[in-house]
Structure formats: structure tokens, C-alpha cells
Structure 1
Amino acid sequence: MGVVIVTGTGTGVGKTVTCAAIAACAKGTVAYVKLAQTGLDAAQPGDAAQPGDAAQFARLARSDNVHEFARYPEALPPNLAAMLSGRPALALADAVRQVIDLDALHDTVLVDGTGGLSAKYDGHDDWTLVDLAAAVDADFLAVVGVHVDMVDHASLLTSAIEAEGFGRAAVAIGNWAADPGPAARFALFDVQRLARRSQLAGVLPAGLAEGVNFRRRARAALSPDWGGTLDTRAFVSRQRP
């Protein structure tokens, strides 16, 4: 699978849980990267015992192959969080080198972005996920939140990725409720058409991160291309009101 950069249409859409689901279902070795954890100030970057996305991934995927490159106390875009904290910003060259090193040792490297596609990581050269993806030859997975504007948000994100020359992104739905309502059910069909090969990478249910049997439930939520068993086209067809 190589390097996959996981971005989303907003905060709390389920990027980290999606990463954990993919890792739990993968047949080969998987490394997880959190480029910059913001909003937390404890221990050292990469300590999965501390709160944060890396810790959640480690717990769900049952993996200690986690790599947090930077951490800042302010819940802001990484470049601003670094500036306010006085800590060094994450340089693009350092991020590229570490991701390439991990890629050489693993079948898949999942890069969990901080903020959205346009979030800046360094105030000096203003690099974003697009710059990292170009440097490490990564694919994109866009995680879409479930809400009334989900089609517009998904369209804007996938179009932005495609406009940068990366082709159509894979798309997964995060936090799909047991009864999401007719608006979301209709929107699901349109979001699917925006995805690579017009097929969703997965539909992850709300509450997937809670309870037991995470791997079994993750497999049921991901398409075969991503290690799961879900026929996403049949799922979308069943959701039409």
C-alpha cells in the first residue's frame, strides 16, 4: 500500500480511528505517523502512553509502531502552535526523511494529518500535506464526516487533492450512525461517486472505537481493498430511503 496520507473534512471525523481500522486489518507491517499532536503538553513526542491520537491508535490497533513527530500544547494549526509554544516547528525535510525511512521498513505507512489538507506545519516555508505527499509519493485517503453538508465538503476536499495532481483520492465515511437520517442516506450515494473508482474505502460506524472486538468490526466496515469485507456499493444501495 505504501505511504497513505489520511486527511479529513473536519475535526473529529474519525481519521485516527480509520487509521487504526486499516492497521488492524492489514496483512503486512504498518507504521503509524502523527505529524504533529496539538492541544496536549505532556512527556515527549511519540509516547503512546500519553493522551493523544497516537495513544488511541496504539490502543485500537494493538500496535506500538507509532511515531509522533512533534507535540504542542495549543490546539491550533501546527505552525501557529509551534510559534506560540516556542518549540521548533516540524521541518518538511525532517518529516520527509522520517517517512521515507519508515516506508523502507514497512508495507504501509499511515500518516495522520493534523487539521485539514491546507493546515501549515512550519511558519517559515508554510508546507502542507500536499508538499509531503509529493515528496514521498503518497496516496490520499479522505475521511468524510456525516452531516448535512457532507457532499459539499467531500467534493471540495477531493477536488483540491485532484487539482494538486494526485488523482482521485480514496474516500471513507467516518462516524456513520445506526440511523443517520434521510439526508445523510441520500448524500452517501453522491459521496461515493467522488471516490476513487466510485467506490468507498469504508463506512466506519459511530462508536467503533468503543467496546470490544475492534478488529472484527473494523473488517466489517472496510472494503476488500483496505483489508475488510464490506461491499460498499451494496451498502450504499441499501441506504437509499
Structure 2
Amino acid sequence: MPFWTWTGIKNGRASTHWPARGPDGQEGVLGMPRWQPERCAPDCRACADACPTAAIRREDNGMSVDYGRCIVCQICVESCPQEAMTPSGDWAYAVRRREDLQWQAAVNSEDGQLLRKKISQSLRRSLHIKHVDAGSCNGCESEIAALENPFYNLHRLGIFFTPSPRFADLLLVTGPVTAPMRDPLLATWEAMPEPRMVLAVGTCAVSGAPMDTGYAGGHGLEGLLPVDVWLPGCPPNPAALIHALLLLLERQPQRVEWGRYAD
């Protein structure tokens, strides 16, 4: 008997039961930093000056935080003298609207409810994904590959990757969309049948940061494709990827609204 076959029989099932129950595999992993604006000192620019992707900015009416540009480097946490930026385990940052990654006062909208109903009716319990690397560093790809390991076992949720856009329901995009990848990405999108959706994975795909200031970088998917779910992170972990996919299928709730993470 092959060694790995015997090891598998002896150790039993390795797959987690998450999200129904059990561990998500992200215990102790740092997520997006939490902003507590009431702690900010007037005219302090420490975190804004330290942020390498301009996710934090000092504006005329105060500070602004755009998690769509955050690469989870934690430099803002280290540089903030008032501890207004604090570490957290907030990794489930998938949202349906790009503006929900920008910290603002919470508001209610009916657009998300209508979209969720449409997706739920069309896809039900099965989803096929076509992945396009639009200039990624392969960090996101390493996390995507982990989805099919024995622990996360994506297939148990009825979600599968397909090599052909003709059979795909969802276009999963990583990378800032560099110039050489723009046309292949759009061609893949055009080859997909309706109804079709887009998931922007990683801060690069959400906003282009931090590559959007370089000569070869892109600006992400905003204004290029109709994105259904935005998932920042550098890279987002496998649990965050699963949460984003289940959010798309109306099987998990959105945890972030107007830049604020709900416990």
C-alpha cells in the first residue's frame, strides 16, 4: 500500500467543517487594521504618511481609510501614536460594492438585496469559476491553490474551477490588470455565458495598489468590468476566499459595511 494512502486512512478526514462549524484555519492571523477615529489627534498624519499604498489619507474634512488599497502590512498600526489603528483578525472583507471598503457612516441600500436575490435564483447551490491572473505576483494564487487541499476542500461546497470560460459562472481575477493582460481578460469575459459575475481577489485587483503608480502597473477592475464582489488583502487567505464565494451565493452574510467590520 502506498505510504500516503496508508497515512490518509490512519489519520482520517482532514477537511474542516467550516463554515458550518469548526476551525477556519486562520486562528492568530492578522487581518485588516481597525480604525477608531475617536482616538485620532487633530492634524496627526503619522499613519497616512506611513501607508505605502495611500489607503489612509488626510483630507480637508479629516482622515479617510480605503481598505480597497490596503495590503495588510500593519505599518499604520506600528506608526500610530494614539493607537487609533489597532491590529485585528478581520479577514472576511469581501463586499458587493466597492464603496463598502471605504470607511464612512453606515447607510442602507436596496441594490445589494436585489443583486443577491438575482444571484441566488440563477446559481442556486453550484458555482463554476474561471480564474484569470492579470499580472499577479502569485501570492493570491498560492492562497487559491490552498482551496483544494484536504482542509478547505472547496468541492464539498459545490464550487469548482473550470479551465474554459464557456462553462464558467464566475470570473475570478487576480492582479492589477497590467497592459498585456487587459485584452486577454476582456476576451475571457466576453466568452462567458450569461448570467456571469466577477470576483476581484486581492488589493491589486480591487484598486491596483501598490502597483498603480508604476509604469507597468494597472488600476484593478474598477471601471473595467462589472465587479460583483470585492475582496482586498495581500493576499486574502483561503477562508476569506471561501467567505467571498459564499457571499456571492447568498450563503454567508457580508461582514463589512462602509468600511466598518461587524463582530
- Tell me the TM-score normalized by structure 2: 0.34
Higher helix share: 1
| Larger Rg over CA atoms | 2
Q: TM-score, normalised by structure 1?
A: 0.37
